[in-house]
Structure 1
Amino acid sequence: MQILAALAMFSVAILPAHAAVVDSTVSNGDTLTEAPESFSVTMNEDILQVAGVETANVLYIQDAEGNYYGDGCVTVDGTTASIEPALGEAGEYTFSYTVVSSDTHAVSDTFNFTWEPEADFAAAEAQAEAPTCGAAEESTEATEEATEAEPTDDAATEDAAEEDATEDATASDSETTGEEDAGLPGWAFAVISIALLALIVGVIIGNWVKARRQIEDNRANDDGAPEVDR
């Protein structure tokens, strides 16, 4: 019997320990009045870390409406997995986690707690979808690149002003060209001007000749007229 008991104790000793969470930031029914340094869980053995796999260990904070808070980035340090603290307005919240031990055993649980912050607490932004680590940074970078690619208001205004000026100048040239095409050509104006000048000169000369003849006729009449006795 003693031998059997010793064998049983030896068998239990060599069996691997069952992976379990031994500590967490909050427990069911807790009330928080200040945001903790982080929300974390600690296991009784190292937590698995897989390079390039961000979803092996997941920790979430949700409010009563199911909205998520935080950026979804989990930090693993030995036996502890944690996320940055992010909470919204006062109310009921849940802290959910799924962590995988180094022997690939997954442990999950959810704790309900009450959040009662000070009146001046700056609430974090709620998210309808579960956050993915790095997604917020990628979105910010994409927005910045799009903003840099778009022309500024001043540049757009200047471009629009230049386009308007070009269109006005083109329209003015077209109108001027149309007016020139619709009127008489330049040489016609020159011919008309010369003709008018010749006409005026002709009239002046004609009047001068007429006046000269009238004077000569008057003289001839005076010379041929008989003298009158006084």
Structure 2
Amino acid sequence: MARSRASAPRRTATTRERLAAASGLMLAAALVLVPAGAASAHDYLVSTDPAADSTVSTPIDQVDLTFNDAVLDFADSTRLQVTGPDGGSTHFETACATVANTEVSAPIALGEAGEYTVVWRIVSSDGHAVSDTYSFRYEPADGTTAAEGSSSGPDCGEAAEAPSDSAPSTGPGSDSYLLIGTAVVIALVAAVTFGIIILRRPRDEDGEE
């Protein structure tokens, strides 16, 4: 009887140690797997100036795009084009896009009032090309000088095209959420399985009866 009373605290302590070990495994797995899933997502557009679907009432001389991570800048890899309300046949960017860390910019000179479309393409920090478009309206005051624009814009290499397979412009891609969710589920299943195996081990392995 005395031996049984003496061994009780030991059994309690051992159970707690096993639960702590299972929790530690779950945390370690989550820390390893979740960042790996998140890192696979393409860069995405955080903000624009002018903003998407906004109305600009004063002349502006530049379009600015801000991304969530540093944009890779290779020769002819970045495009930023601004076309006007005539169906996109006239360009109003006056020079090629420039990259400064997470910022992509291009100078512009807008023409007549109407809807303008911004077409952009970058190389994401994961090495993949990402592209998208957005629009804003230009409603200048009467008498504001209108730029003529050009039929092709500045010569910046191969022209950017409207995206057919691009990352969302306002947040992480859905593929990143899927990978993160899968990693978390794997971590939880591994932790629970490990905990069950440990807790069901024969007590005599710890010198208990």
Q: What TM-score, normalized to structure 2? A: 0.56
From 63, 80, 88, give the equivalent of 1:39.
63
Native 8 Å contact 1:71 1:133 kept in 2 = no
Please give the secondary structure, in 1, of the residue aligned with 2:149. coil
> So what's the TM-score if we normalise by structure 1?
0.51
1:206-217 correspondence runs (5 A): none
Q: Which runs of 5+ in 2 are unaligned?
A: 1-21, 158-209
**Alpha-carbon distance between aligned partners in 2 of 1:84 and 1:103, rounded to the nearest angstrom:** 27
Q: Is the 8 A contact 1:28 1:112 kept in 2?
A: yes
Point out the structure with max Rg over C-alpha: 1
Task: Indicate whether 1:25 and 2:11 are aligned.
Answer: no
Aligned twin of 1:115: 138
Of 48, 52, 55, the match for 2:72: 48
Task: Give 1:13's aligned residue.
Answer: 35
- Is 2:127 the partner of 1:124? no
Unaligned runs of 5+ in 1: 135-230
For residue 78 of structure 2, what is the aligned residue in structure 1? 57
Conserved? CA contact 2:122–2:131, under 8 Å: yes
Which secondary structure state, in structure 2, belongs to the residue aligned with residue 93 of structure 1? strand
Shift in CA distance, 22/102, structure 1 to aligned 2, threshold 3 Å = same
The alignment of Structure 1 onto Structure 2 pairs a total of residues equal to 131
Q: For 2:30, what is the secondary structure of its paired residue?
A: helix
% same residue: 33
Deviation of 1:37 (Å) = 4.6
Q: 1:83 offset after TM fit, Å?
A: 0.4
Is the partner of 1:69 in helix, strand or coil?
A: coil
Aligned with 1:7: secondary structure? helix
Give 4+ residue runs of structure 1 displaced > 3 Å after superposition: none
TM alignment of 1:1-230, pairs within 5 A:
2=23, 3-4=25-26, 6-15=28-37, 16=39, 18=41, 19-50=43-74, 53=75, 55-65=76-86, 66=88, 67-133=90-156
Shift of the alpha carbon at 1:70?
2.3
What's the RMSD between the two structures over aligned residues? 2.2
Is the CA contact 2:54–2:136 (under 8 Å) kept in the aligned structure 1? yes
Equivalents in 1 of 2:95, 2:130: separation in Å? 18
d(CA) in 2 for partners of 1:71, 1:32? 18
Q: Distance in 1 between matches of 2:60 and 2:94?
A: 16
